[in-house]
Each structure stands twice: as C-alpha cells, then as structure tokens.
Structure 1
Amino acid sequence: MVWVLLRWIGIGCMGAFAVRRRTLTPWIFVAMVAGAEIGFDAPAFAVNLRVFSDIFLRLIKTIVAPLILATLVTGIAGHGDLKGVGRMGIKSIVYFEVLTTLALVIGLVAINISKAGVGLTLPAAHEATETLAKVAPAHWDDFLLHVFPENIAKSVAEGQILQVAVFAVFFAIAMAMLSEEKRAPVLRLCESLSEVMFKFTNVVMYFAPIGVGAAMAFTVGHLGLGVLVNLGKLLLTLYGALIAYALLVMLPVALIAKVPVKRFLSAVAEPATIAFATSTSEAALPRAMEAMEALGVPRRIVAFVIPAGYSFNLDGSTLYLALASIFVAQAAGIHMSWGEQAMMMGTLILTSKGVAGVPRATLVVLLATAATFHLPTEPIFVILGIDALMDMARTMVNVVGNCLASVVVAQWEGQFGSEPVSEVVLEGMAD
C-alpha cells in the first residue's frame, strides 16, 4: 500500500536526520504522516491503534500533579520572596502577570474568531457534554469552593490540577516566610522533584511518535481526512495570534519603556533563532542572558528576570494554551459561555506558571486543563500532529518576551546601560 512506502521512506530519511539532530520532532512528523496514511488506507485496522495513544495519555497524566506542584513551589519560593527581592521582584511579577493575561486574551479572541475546532465532531463529544453538565459547578460560590483542596492526596489522585496549584501557591508562600536555613532543604527537594519529573517527561516523550501516530491513525480512520482542514486552521490561527501579540502588546510595551527596538531585535535574533530551531527555551537561555547583558541590562537584573520569566512569563505558551483549550471544547461540540471561558483562563493563569522551557511541556498543562473542565482528550492528540510546528513559534515568542522583560525592568529601575559590560560577555557575543 501507499502508506507502507511512504512510511519507510519517511522514517529512513527523517530518522537519520533525527539521529543527527537528537530531536524527536522529525520522528513525530513521520509518525503523523504515517498515521494519517494508515487511517486513510486501512481505517478498520487504524481504529484498533487507539490503545497506544491511550498508553501515552496515561503516562503523561502521571506527570501532571507532581510537576505542577514542584515547579510552582520552586518558582514562588525560589524567586517570589518579594521582601527579599524588593522593588525589582514586585515590578517583575506585575509585568509578568499583565503580559501573560494579555496573551491569554489574544489567544481566546483568536480562536473564537477562527473557530478552528468547529466541525471536528468527535464520538466522545456527547458523552463529554453530559459529564460537563453533571459535574460543572452551578454557581460561582460552588466553583470558588471547588478551587480549594480539602485533601491534597485526593486532589492529586482525582487530577484536580487547579486544587494542586492552589495548594502549591499557599505552600510556597509559607516556605518563603521561613528562614533560609529551614526553607533550603524543602526547596532543594522540590527542585529535585521538578528535575526528576522533567526527566520523566523526556523519557515518556520517546513514546510520543508512537502515541501521535496511533492517535492520528485512529482519528483519520474514524473521522476521515477532513480533520486536516481543522489542523491547518488551528496552525494559521496560532501564528496569526502570535503576530498580533507581538504587534499589539510587545511592540507598544517596548516603545512605552523606551527600549531601543532596533538594537534589541539585533541582540535577540540569535537566541530567538535557537529557540525556534530547537523548540526549547532552555537551549536559548545562556545566549539570551549574554545578549541582554551586552545590550546594557545589568547582570543582577538579567540573572533574576529571565530565569523567573521561564516560570512566570511564557507568553507564547500561555497564548497557545488559551487557544488550544477552546479548540478542544469546539472540537468536542461543547459550547462554553464567555463566563466559562473566563473561568478556564483564570485556571490557566495559575497552571501555565508551571510550564517548563522544554519541548511539548504545554501538553501536560493542556491535559490538566481538559481534565479539570471535563473535556475529551481526543482533540488534544489531534493537535499533537502539528504541535512541533506550533511549538517552534511559541517557544521563540517565550524567549523574546523574557528578553524584553529584562530590558523593561532595567528601564523601570533606571539601570539600563548604567554598568559596564563584562569583557567575557562581549567576547562571547563576538564569537
């Protein structure tokens, strides 16, 4: 059959490329194409492959609660001691929250305009609608009560990620109020746990090509190739929303803060390119810090703002999460009012803070959000087919946004260009 030839040619070429690059992205592309071809040519066989996508889903779900808990505690207790960091900490947190909220709003508006998920009817949609009607809080006070956990172990077991996030916030605040001596062991434990969960994620992601291929085969085999139209609309919606965010939010912020735009763009070009090519914010972190210091941001501001931004200011990922969450509801045929969408955005304001600067880490938060609002997971696996293309763009925006944040805070503090740049940094930028 056609898919056999396509699969082996694709795997041979792209697989060799993957070995050289040491990245899963080519494998996921190959799996996506092979899965679509299997679903088209052998639909009866393809629908039986769903078990492999379900295995991948279960593995991902085991990561959600401990990862969100550890990263939120580490981010707040490690960087959010406002008494310790003073004005810079307050200004940074305010800036991060305003910019990420605007990213959520733009993502929400974009997906409601494009309606990229509408028409992608899924078998589980009716069941999901009934479940939503049964368990969704009827009043605002019920929802507010549901936000707070009564038993953290129960919240973890039931996948109530918003309750886990709220617990993590209060736990981190309590830690920040302790002396450094008493806080340090718990903070090291949380840092170690977050690192372990990131490694866990990396191990599980080796199964991603199989999970994605199986999900694509099942989807196309069950629904037909028409699903690819929705994926194309979603991809265009994301890129359009990111461009709108850059022009309507980041550029005005830069102009208001009197950031030297041309010099900034020149300085950020290399780390942005690294982020786009690798889909990994962390890969661009060292170069981004060097570039901003060479631009004129004092090292102490660079060292605080950019690492803190990796937990609190992932604008591209936050915008994507807003867009993808509503896409899932649209694909499931579930109508969400503006009030319900606002509740979901409020949840994402918290849970998105745990997004790591690694490829496809947003999948964890997206699955958690879908579970919290009782949305089906099938559309998420449909999204995985083009996630690599979306990941490159949103990661680049994450890096540029954090670089811009460091310059804005430096200007806000009146420290931009006030200190001589290290010769080592200048030598590194000249390489």
Structure 2
Amino acid sequence: MKIPPAPAAGPSAMKKPLHKSLFFQILIAVIAGVSVGSFWPELGSSLRPLGDGFIQLIKMIIAPLIFLVIVTGISAVDDVKSVGRVGVKALLYFTGATLFALAFGLVVANVVQPGAGLNVDPATLSQDALNAKTTTASPKDAGQFLLGIIPTSVVGAFASNTLLQVLCFSVFFGAAIVAVGRERCKPVIALLETTLELFFKIMGWVMRVAPLGAFGAMAFVIGQYGLSSLGTYALLIGACYGSALVFIGLLFIVAWVYPRVPLWQFIKYSREEFLLALGTASTESVLPRIMTKLTNAGCSRATTGLVVPTGYSFNLDGAALYLSISLLFLAQAFGHSLDLGQQLTALGILMLTSKGMAGVPGSAFLALSATAGALGVFPVAGVALLLGADRLMDSMRVTVNLLGNCVATFVVAKWEGQFDRHAMLAAFQGETAAAAEILTAGPAGQAGPAASIPGPGADDVAIQKVR
C-alpha cells in the first residue's frame, strides 16, 4: 500500500511554551532535588514519600492498563498463532541480549579490575546489613519462576500487581476473543476500548505531578547517600557507566541495522519518559507512556503489549551489566582471581538468578548472594560491600533497561512484520495524527499499529498530537 506524504503540521502541532513542557519541568525538578539533597541532606532524606507516592500512583494503573492494551491489541489480530510467535521471538531476543550483557560485563571487569587492591578482611563483614536490604526472600529456581507466571487467582494477580501473571491472563483473554470471533465480541471490545481511554485520561492526570515525584526521589537519594560516595566506589562506578555507554552504542547499531530505527531520534521523541525514569530511578514510572510512544512509533499494539511488560522481567540489560561487573569486583576485593571456568559458571548462574528476581526486594543483592554461595569463592556477606554504591547505579540501570526494552520492541515488531517505519518517521516529526488516519487500514489491510489507540490526554502524548 502506497502511503501518501503526511500533510504539514498545523497549529495543533506547535510546540508548547517551555515552562509547560513536561521535560523542562522534570529537568528543573531533578536539578532542584540534587541541590536540596546536597545542601540540606536531612530535608532531602525526608522527601522520599514524594517519589514513592508518585510511583504508587503509576502502579495503581499499570496492571489494568497492561490488560487493556494487550487484549485490545490481540483482538485486532486475525491469526492468534502470531501472538505465540511474538512471545517466542521476544524470549529468544531477551535471552541473547541478557547473555551478551552479562558476558560483556565480565570482560569489562577483567580489563578494569575495579576491586583490585582493596584487600577486604572477611572478619569485618556483617550479614545484618545485607539481610535488612534483601528481607527474607530467597532466589527462585527455574520451576518456581515458571509456575509463578501462572496466576492462582485472576483477581490476586491484579491485586498484587504481578505483571507477568497479568500478562499471562491477558494473552488468554485476548486469544479467546479471537477464537470466539470479533463480530460476536464487538460489545466487549468496545467496552475495553472505552475503558482504556479512561485509564489513559487518569494517567494524564497522574503525570501532572511527575515533576514533584522526580524532585522527591532525587532529593532522597542525594540526601541519604551523598555525593561523597562517588569517590569511594569511583572505579566500580566508572566501569559500570562506561560499559553502559558502550552497550548503548551497540543498541544504536542494532536498532539501525535491522528495524532501521534512528535511535537518537527515538530518544529525543521519548525524552520526557527517559528523564522521568532517571529522576525516579524506576522504569515502572514510565511503563504506560513508553508503550504509547512505541505504538505511535509504528510498533503494533499486540507486539508492544507483549514485549514491553515481559521485558521488564526478562530483559534487564542494565541490571545484567551491573551484576557481572559487581561479582568480579567483589571477588577482586577479597583477593581472588576467578579463572575462565569459574567465570563461565558464574555466567550461567547469573543468567538464571537474574531472570528469577523480578519483583523481589533487593533483587540484585539476592542474585549476587546466590551466585557467591554457588561459587564459594568469597563470603556471601561480602555482597553488603555494594550497599553504598547500589543506589548510585540506578541511573545506569534504568537507562539501559528502558532503552534495551524499546529496541527489543522495535526488533521483534520488525521480525514479526508488525512494524511500520512510515508511522515511526511521522511520529518523530510530530505528525502522528496524519499517520494514524493513514494507518487505520494498516499494512496489508490489517489493523494498523497505531490505529485508534487513545493517548494519555490532550496535554500529554496522544495519537492526535505528539510533540
């Protein structure tokens, strides 16, 4: 189908005044948070409820929003088998990306040697600090993790906000609509579409307090841990952030070579989401909005709905880099040099523990503790050495995690033939409204990737208007 050129942007596409831009508001909030945390650390530490409250508001709508996006997306697919193909392809990509991230982290740690020369005395360690961070949870094995994806109660899955369980039920529900027939299920689909629009409206209201949440979260981190911690863990932090920059460069290459996505333009297009994730140190805070951005940028609703929530548990590239570098940092700090066999063993263990840690408090510490216990090279309590640096790594982790999942969505959508590059380019140019009209029929006569998806509100990202 030949797509005519999009009309020039009219007055509706004009940019907002700078002070009304969410990106500008969040940027000012982050700078103010750093300033308050630096000059008045006690005040900064007391502002944590602002950040936590905003994230709780986002979590309030995540589960139903994922359900609605996935079900309405799958209901527009003629072949229910394609849903299974998307899931398999996503898992294959996630496995490869995580394995590469872990292996790359090990290479960086071997070259940089961030823990060399610390000579930590095991007798000075205490398990209490680590227990306080990780609570009483224990790592899940592969069987427990897979069983945990299946909800014992649909209501319980939504009540506990367990995204993989909500995802599992949503796929079954959407597939049932396709199996029964869209004509018979028209009233149900119409109700779900209307409900989805209502949830996006709620999300628009919640996003108005995003700068306040970013301010509170940043003030707490700086006030609680201080900028002085940077010096203590300088080499470790440098290794993690340096490897993250190289990994992001590789993501740029992957995005351009296969789905032909100019990733810098996508980052510019989604700058508000990335800055908010950095400010709140949470990718969950932007989950609904990043799904909307990806859908508007040409990825089908079904693919976006399946890949992004699954990636939040299976494709944590930033966390994988951190885990592998931190493991060798700890071994080096205790004066141990792991040989190739031990590092390959650690790679396999981290591959399993990193996948089974989603939603567990202190997940990074639990994954490292499980790996340390299996290797037996240094005391498990030694993981507590990372407590002072962990929060300083949040910016690296959330950026790489979020960008990695966005690239994964583009790759899987292209792989499955559910990606429209014309819609992506139109979205980057702020012409999504015109693209939506063109794509209502979609490629090859199917429902288009951005067709009829409601946006978060007139003052946020919407299919009718994208800055």
Name the TM-score class by shorter chain.
Answer: 0.5 to 0.7
CA contact (8 A) 2:142 2:356 kept: no
- Percent identity reads 32
| Secondary structure of the structure 2 residue equivalent to 1:371 | helix
CA contact (8 A) 2:83 2:302 kept: no
The answer to whether structure 1 residue 381 and structure 2 residue 384 are counterparts is: yes
Which stretch shifts more, 15-24 or 235-244?
15-24
The answer to whether structure 1 residue 309 and structure 2 residue 336 are counterparts is: no
Over 3 Å counting, the alpha-carbon distance change for 1:192 and 1:342 in structure 2 is farther
Partner of 2:352: 350
> TM-score with structure 2 length normalisation?
0.56
Residue deviations 1:73-114 (CA, integer Å, cap 9, x gap) = xxxxx9xxx989421111101110111111011110111111
For 2:357 and 2:137, locate their aligned partners in 1 and report how far apart those are by CA, in whole Å.
17
CA contact (8 A) 1:347 1:369 kept: yes
Question: 1:347 deviation in Å?
Answer: 0.7
Q: How does 1:197-208 map to 2 (within 5 A)?
A: none
> TM-score with structure 1 length normalisation?
0.61
1:111 to 109, 112, 132: 109
For 1:385 and 1:106, locate their aligned partners in 2 and report how far apart those are by CA, in whole Å.
24
Amino acid at match of 1:422: S
Over 3 Å counting, the alpha-carbon distance change for 1:228 and 1:240 in structure 2 is closer
For 2:371 and 2:153, locate their aligned partners in 1 and report how far apart those are by CA, in whole Å.
27
For 1:360 and 1:23, locate their aligned partners in 2 and report how far apart those are by CA, in whole Å.
21
Amino acid at match of 1:185: T
Residue deviations 1:194-213 (CA, integer Å, cap 9, x gap) = 86xxxxxxxxxxxx99xx98
Over 3 Å counting, the alpha-carbon distance change for 1:401 and 1:357 in structure 2 is farther
Q: How does 1:24-423 map to 2 (within 5 A)?
A: 85-124=83-122, 161=139, 164-168=140-144, 171=147, 184-185=151-152, 231-248=233-250, 250-261=251-262, 262-356=264-358, 361-374=363-376, 375-377=378-380, 379-417=382-420, 418=442, 419=448, 420-422=450-452
For 1:411 and 1:10, locate their aligned partners in 2 and report how far apart those are by CA, in whole Å.
44
| Secondary structure of the structure 2 residue equivalent to 1:425 | coil
For 2:390 and 2:94, locate their aligned partners in 1 and report how far apart those are by CA, in whole Å.
25
CA contact (8 A) 1:159 1:368 kept: no
Unaligned runs of 5+ residues in structure 1 are 1-8, 26-77, 128-157, 176-182, 196-207, 217-224
Cα RMSD (Å): 3.9
CA contact (8 A) 1:351 1:365 kept: yes
CA contact (8 A) 1:316 1:394 kept: yes
For 2:320 and 2:414, locate their aligned partners in 1 and report how far apart those are by CA, in whole Å.
25
Over 3 Å counting, the alpha-carbon distance change for 1:189 and 1:286 in structure 2 is closer
Residue deviations 1:292-347 (CA, integer Å, cap 9, x gap) = 11211111111110000011100000111111111111111122111111111111
CA contact (8 A) 1:235 1:390 kept: yes
For 1:106 and 1:321, locate their aligned partners in 2 and report how far apart those are by CA, in whole Å.
11
Question: 1:184 deviation in Å?
Answer: 4.5
Residue deviations 1:104-145 (CA, integer Å, cap 9, x gap) = 111101111110111111211899xxxxxxxxxxxxxxxxxx
Over 3 Å counting, the alpha-carbon distance change for 1:324 and 1:85 in structure 2 is same
Question: 1:265 deviation in Å?
Answer: 2.1
Over 3 Å counting, the alpha-carbon distance change for 1:87 and 1:397 in structure 2 is same
CA contact (8 A) 2:277 2:398 kept: yes
Partner of 1:22: 49
Which stretch shifts more, 352-361 or 89-98?
352-361
Over 3 Å counting, the alpha-carbon distance change for 1:275 and 1:354 in structure 2 is farther
For 2:342 and 2:142, locate their aligned partners in 1 and report how far apart those are by CA, in whole Å.
19
Residue deviations 1:253-276 (CA, integer Å, cap 9, x gap) = 112223321432223322221111
Residue deviations 1:324-380 (CA, integer Å, cap 9, x gap) = 111111111122111111111111111111343799542332233223323324543
Over 3 Å counting, the alpha-carbon distance change for 1:369 and 1:402 in structure 2 is same
For 1:351 and 1:10, locate their aligned partners in 2 and report how far apart those are by CA, in whole Å.
34
CA contact (8 A) 2:315 2:404 kept: yes
Unaligned runs of 5+ residues in structure 2 are 1-35, 53-69, 71-79, 126-135, 163-219, 421-441, 443-447
Question: 1:20 deviation in Å?
Answer: 3.6
Over 3 Å counting, the alpha-carbon distance change for 1:406 and 1:358 in structure 2 is farther
